[in-house]
Amino acid sequence: MDCGFKSGKNVFRYRVGGIVLVDGKALLATNTMTGYFYILSGAVNLGEASEDAAVRVMNEKTGGNYSVSRLLTIVENFFDYEFNDTKYDFQEVIFYYLMEPREIKCPDRKNKLGGGRTETLHWIPLPEAAGKDIRPRSGKEMILNLPLQVQTIISDERSDYSD
């Protein structure tokens, strides 16, 4: 069971993300309902350690064999997302790990997501990543400039949020 809950149109999720950098390229994903790239991520299950969840999620999504190198960043992310004509307000806590591939099997991989969505994996050269719309926005910075120490970030990307 995923660590998260829903209350009306508010959703809280505890997740992990895996940053994979190989030969000057970053592994990112898109899906059929979004116009942006994102870091591969997934839910932490109840009773599961975040490092174990990161390995499980990356292996499931890529078909490869990954291990955790180190924790990079903990992000508390606020955003809204429309699904089936309903707008939801999300709050996520995401542990982003730098992942080391032991075996890579994901070129042109497609994953079925809920709601009829299909996720496609892409290897994006790092110089091109700078010009891409990558979510969360703090994810682009992590990819282009790996933090030397664990960082905590609060990111508010709600459409009605103003500084």
What domains, with CATH codes, occur in the chain?
4-156 (3.90.79.10)
Pick from 153, 131, 156: nearest CA to 26: 131
Pick from 122, 121, 101: nearest CA to 111: 121
> Quick one: pLDDT band at residue 102, thresholds 50, 70, 90?
confident
Pick from 111, 122, 72, 97: nearest CA to 16: 97
pLDDT at 111: 66
pLDDT over 90 (residue 104): no
Where would I find the H helices in 94-136? Answer: 126-129
Tokens of 97: 């790990």
Tokens of 134: 């990558």
Task: Say what the pTM is.
Answer: 0.89
pLDDT over 50 (residue 132): yes
Residue type, 20: V
Q: What is the mean pLDDT of residues 52-69?
A: 94
What distance in Å separates the CA atoms of residue 107 and residue 95, rounded to the nearest whole number?
Answer: 25
What distance in Å separates the CA atoms of residue 96 and residue 40, rounded to the nearest whole number?
Answer: 10
Residue predicted with more confidence, 35 or 17: 17
Sign of CA dihedral 46, 16, 147, 135: negative
What distance in Å separates the CA atoms of residue 91 and residue 15, rounded to the nearest whole number?
Answer: 11
